[in-house]
A = this chain, B = another copy of it.
Amino acid sequence: MDMKSLTIGRLAKQAGVNLETVRFYERRGLLPKPPRTASGYRLFPADAARRLRFIRRAQELGFSLTEIGELLSLRVSRRTTSADIRTRAEVKIADIEAKIRSLESMKKTLRKLTRVCDGCAPVAECPILESLDREDA
């Protein structure tokens, strides 16, 4: 139990999540199984909190836990070739860019709306529908 390890309770507090959520993510494989003390207590490395915060943020961006698992597994190692990782990373980048474009489009519409508000011109229709409306999924 050196200073660098965290019990599950401390980790949960540091990351701002429920303790049960930590166990749940461990079961789901989003958090690597931590070493245990002789009595069975989990001892998480300090950077587990960073991983938890990453998961939370990614969720707010509309990624499912399964997709987050895929993001977290993006790294080069003996088992995975560079080319494989590269391809998978590029797919994720494309997903992300699509999300950014949708958000930019929503933002533009909302900005237009605030300008209309300044001009005091009443808009009866819902202007945000203009955004996010062209083709593809």
Spell out A's residues near B (CB within 8 Å).
16, 47, 50-51, 53-54, 57-62, 71-77, 82-83, 85-86, 89-90, 92-93, 96-97, 99-100, 102-104, 106-107, 110-111, 113-114, 116-118, 120-129, 131-133, 137
Contact = CB atoms under 8 A, between A and B. Distances in A.
B120 A74 contact: no
A121 to B, nearest CB: 8
A75 B118 CA distance: 13
Given A74-B113, A110-B74, A50 B133 contact: yes
Contact of A99 (B47, B51, B61, B77): B61
B54 A85 contact: no
Contacts of A106: 58, 61, 71, 92, 96
A121 B82 CA distance: 8
B96 A61 contact: no
